[in-house]
Amino acid sequence: MNINNLETILIKIFKKNGLKADHAKICSDALINAEQVGAYAHGLSRLKMYCDRIRKKLINPNPKIRIKKISQSISSIDANNSIGFVAADIAIKRAIQNAKKTGIGMVAVKNSGHYGLSGYYAEQAVKKNLITMIYTNAPPAVAPFGSSKSLFGTNPICFGTPSGSKIPFILDTSISMINRGLIRFAARNNKKIPKGVALDKFGNPTSNAKKALQGVQLPIASFRGSGLAWMVDILSGVLTGSNHAGKVKDPFDDFSGPQNIGHLFITFKTNLFVKNYKARIKENIKIIKKLPKNKGVKEIVYPGENKYKRLKMNSKKEIKISQIVKKDLEILVK
């Protein structure tokens, strides 16, 4: 589908569900970006879920978002159960604004929802020549190390920095072997998931996506991944005043109340400690890229390079839409 046509349809759907035109545009842009970078599990496959939660009054389509200035550098945001895209867009822009004024910006968000790709917001800061770290918690999916019950979300960790070239360095990764959205995407499209990423509800390894959703996802690096998930839960949940310790509600399955997800955005200038950061980061990347390569490896790439290439390539193409998503769009746009 042509990108412009898709944008028109998405904005129409969000406006139909009560969002203001500017908020509908923010949501549309984020979903289309996810499709263009190949993160389909965070793209159009989630559209129906957002609309379902709006209709059930679990997402506020017309929120009264409150921004509290704590200092010149620090702000807090009560998103009033807005759709996560809107809350995150306001937060990253405020974090950028604070950092430009004082050198560092920190914004905590509570009463928000799923906001898509953390890297999408990190890129906004990097384009302003800022370094950024972004954290958000998520519904239970991963068991804490030593436990058989899921409690932590896949809790992504995101870091972004200018790279000295047009391609930003953006590390955006969940603490699980694969993100939960990929498992949901596989379940909805009757596809298998890789072995070694999840257990079923009986604790057995499974490649069945539907059984994995009922069981437990495995963290990266055993107890280290579990520890990172805990760290993110503290930073984005405990610290911000949001749900934490397994209380974030699953957006697809739990309609008992709003999610109350928490986000933490940190941005800071590259010249806080050195004046030649651009030259130093270029040297850093150059040294690593020149290292001897393993057999079969053509190039050592840094986080964000492949995603940038996919975005550049797919921006010139029409977006492929599955039959399932086409049906969603046809129903939602009526």
* Residue at a domain's end among 218, 243, 278: 218
Tell me if 91 is assigned to some domain: yes
Contact 26, 83 (CB under 8 A): no
Tell me if 92 is assigned to some domain: yes
pLDDT, tens digit only, all 334 positions of the chain: 999 999 999 999 999 999 999 999 999 999 999 999 999 999 999 999 999 999 999 999 999 999 999 999 999 999 999 999 999 999 999 999 999 999 999 999 999 999 999 999 999 999 999 999 999 999 999 999 999 899 999 999 999 999 999 999 999 999 999 989 899 999 998 999 999 999 999 999 999 999 999 999 999 999 999 999 999 999 999 999 999 999 999 999 999 999 999 999 999 999 999 999 999 999 999 999 999 999 999 999 999 999 999 999 998 889 999 999 999 999 999 8
Calculate the alpha carbon distances from 304 to 39, 123, 144, 172, 311 in Å. Answer: 13, 10, 29, 8, 10
pLDDT value of residue 148: 87
pTM for the structure as a whole: 0.95
Structure tokens at 112: 């928000």
pLDDT value of residue 283: 98
Contact 176, 217 (CB under 8 A): yes
Where in the sequence is the domain holding 185, given as residue range(s)?
179-218
Query: How many Cβ atoms sit within 10 Å of the Cβ of residue 265?
Result: 31
Three-state SS letters, 136-151: ECCCCCECCCCCCCCC
Phi and psi, residue 143, nearest 5°: -80, 135
**CB environment 68-85: b (16+ within 10 A), e (fewer):** eeeeebbbbbbbbbbbbb
148 in the same domain as 108: yes
147 in the same domain as 98: yes
* Residue at a domain's end among 162, 192, 218: 218
Tell me if 27 is assigned to some domain: no
- CATH number, residue 194: 3.30.60.50
How many domains is the chain built from? 2
74 in the same domain as 127: yes
203 in the same domain as 143: no
270 in the same domain as 151: yes
pLDDT value of residue 332: 97
State which H helix or E strand residue 284 sits in: helix 277-289
286 in the same domain as 266: yes
Tell me if 53 is assigned to some domain: no
Tell me if 321 is assigned to some domain: no
Residue whose token pair is 């050195």: 274
